[in-house]
Amino acid sequence: MSSTKFILGCFEDPDLMMDGITKLQKNSIPIYDVYTPMPIHGIEAKLGVKESRLGYAAFCFGCLGATVVFSIVYYTLVHDWPMNIGGKPHFAMPDFVPFTFEWTILFTAFGMVATFFAATHLFPGRAPRVMDLRATDDRFVIAVDAKGNIPHDDITRLLEEAGAVEVKHNKRKYVSYDE
Amino acid sequence: MGTHHPHSFDERFEFAGKAKTFSLVAIVIGVLGIVYGFAIDTHGHHAVRTFSNLLLMSYYFVGVCVAGVFFLAYQYMAQAGWSVGLLRIPQAFARVLGVGVVLLLIVVGAGLFLTHKESHEGHEVMAPYLYSHWATDGLTTEGSPIYDAIIAGKSAFLNKPFFYGSLAVMLLLYTWFGKLLVDYSNSEDSLGGMLNYNKSFKMSAIFLVIFGFTFPIYSFGTIMSLEAHWFSTMFGWYNLAAAHVTGLAAIALTLSILKENGYFSWVNENHMHDLGKLIFGFSIFWTYVWFAQFFLTWYANMPEESVYFYKRWEPEYKWWFWLNIVLNFCAPLFLLMKNDNKRSFTRMKIVAIVIIIGHWLDYYLMIMPGTMEQHREFGLTEVTTFVGFVGLFSFVMLSALSKFESLVPKKHPFLEESLHHHI
């Protein structure tokens, strides 16, 4: 039994990598994920990546921000300590618009960053987990889960035929920057 | 350079059939409506009412067409590639800007120089049909029974020769720039190369500077001066936002209808998505300026400023005042918020129609409280004038579109980028 956990096909050229994806898909070999140093147009559709739900998170955070600030200001300025400001009513709706708007934006922005970090396991002080260091630099990497996908030699041959400059048989899933 | 795509760039738009019949019928309805408004309508202020509607619609017409020139100019300035496939539509708008300009100059000229008897603070005066707040004889003459010091103070700007002259100069300049950009594009189709693109880039830059500085003055004059005692420095941007968003809506609507009829095979949901983002964003920008104008007036609460909104909160207008926000802010906000909605031609078509009707109401609320005041009406004259101008716009714009040799600027340097546009 092989101790290989992941097979990585490293490409120099994004078009060759797209070829590699096609070849693997034609041979019904499931692709675990693809890592590239830059965005590749159309790759989500090709890999069948599910549409991001970040927009829904953004909407919820926006609603939360609006509710939070509206409640705070309503409590302080209308309920707890009403003041006469320029003879306006205590619950002066137009006044509430700018800060409600601002807090909606603030919560949406921060909430989206937090959601993105949580979804990608990026936290301050944590070494990011990557499968191949050069995928952030100059290599386009296709990762195939080795478990259940045999024979490994056939996968290696397919990737090499597609133009992979290197095929790695990794025994660990991730390499970290601090290793 | 070999390019492989299934599109026929030599395809021309043929203006015939239902589109032609419907727009001609709409024009006839409009003409009958105007005749009705001037001659048959028994409303006490029927002439002012018809003039107000004509001003509204010709201002709207010019706004949509000038937004076409504006769109072309900023696409060139941003060196945008995505929009190349649909540039012929704003180019057709730019081509018919001249028609709108002539109409607006006729309406403003007639409204300014033709007069009727009116009672002004107990005095019988000969007031013009439009702009009577400042253009009535005697308002700026010292010693006259109706002398108005505030209006006299504004007479350096609000006097007939300067007002009408500057209006004509600004509108002709916009038309000329629109014509230049269209001519360059046509010449590019036959010559190719970068020469015409570079010229378009340069003229777009010059146009945007002139347009940015003069458009507020244009709307201060044409619309804001209907209530000449009142002023708002935000009015120009507010009107620019309205003109821009209606121009974008008209582009999206034209595009989706032409696409339904089999034209523009090279335009797909990715291009519509970008148009949708612009419409979504500029609807919110319009709301931002609208609210800022309202908010500052409300907060400062100075009588000479508040009167503008006071009038619009009278029972005749209040319901419309809120409907304006529903149509122009809430509708695009909620109907276009999702990605998938901006990518749907059907959804974009519906939102474009809502926005086009919504901004008619927006202009209505800018004009009627100043001209018709408490006698405002909504009925036959309003609807038929709107229908007539929509018909006229469709007729001249589609005729202009059918005169292009091809429905795409086929030698535009960024055409390939537009064909492969993907988001």
Q: Kindly tell me if the per-residue pLDDT of B328 is higher than 50.
A: yes
pLDDT single digits (tens) B117-152: 888 888 889 999 999 999 999 899 998 989 999 999
What pLDDT does B66 receive?
98
| B301 is a domain residue | yes
Give B395 to chain A, closest Cα distance, Å.
40
pLDDT single digits (tens) A114-145: 999 988 888 888 887 888 888 889 999 999 99
| B6 is a domain residue | no
Give B169 to chain A, closest Cα distance, Å.
39
| B12 is a domain residue | no
pLDDT single digits (tens) B62-98: 999 999 999 999 999 999 999 999 999 999 999 999 9
What's chain B's average pLDDT? 94
Report the alpha-carbon distance of residue A8 to residue A65 in Å, rounded.
43
Average pLDDT over residues A25-30: 91
Task: Give the structural domain span for B69.
Answer: 17-419
| B11 is a domain residue | no
pLDDT single digits (tens) B235-265: 999 999 999 999 999 999 999 999 999 999 9
| B148 is a domain residue | yes
CB pairs under 8 A between A and B: 18
CB contact under 8 A, B294 and A94: yes
CB contact under 8 A, A97 and B422: no
pTM above 0.80?
yes
| B303 is a domain residue | yes
CB contact under 8 A, A94 and B299: yes
Nearest CA in chain A to B340: A51
| Total domains present in chain B | 1
Give A170 to chain B, closest Cα distance, Å.
34
CB contact under 8 A, A94 and B339: no
| Interface predicted TM-score (ipTM) | 0.80
What pLDDT does A179 receive?
47
In this structure, what is the dihedral angle of CA atoms B343, B331, B382, B116, given to the nearest 10 degrees? Answer: -120
| B71 is a domain residue | yes
CB contact under 8 A, A41 and B422: yes
| B3 is a domain residue | no
Average pLDDT over residues B14-40: 94
Going along chain A from its start, the domains and CATH numbers come out as 6-51+129-176 (3.30.70), 54-120 (no CATH)
User: DSSP 3-state assignment of A140?
Assistant: strand
Predicted confidence band of residue A156 (pLDDT cuts 50, 70, 90)? very high
Tell me which residue of B76, B69, B74 sits closest to B96, measured CA to CA.
B69
Chain B positions contacting chain A at CB under 8 Å are 291, 294-295, 298-299, 301, 337-339, 422
Tell me which residue of B420, B423, B418, B328 sits closest to B75, measured CA to CA.
B418
Give A94 to chain B, closest Cα distance, Å.
7
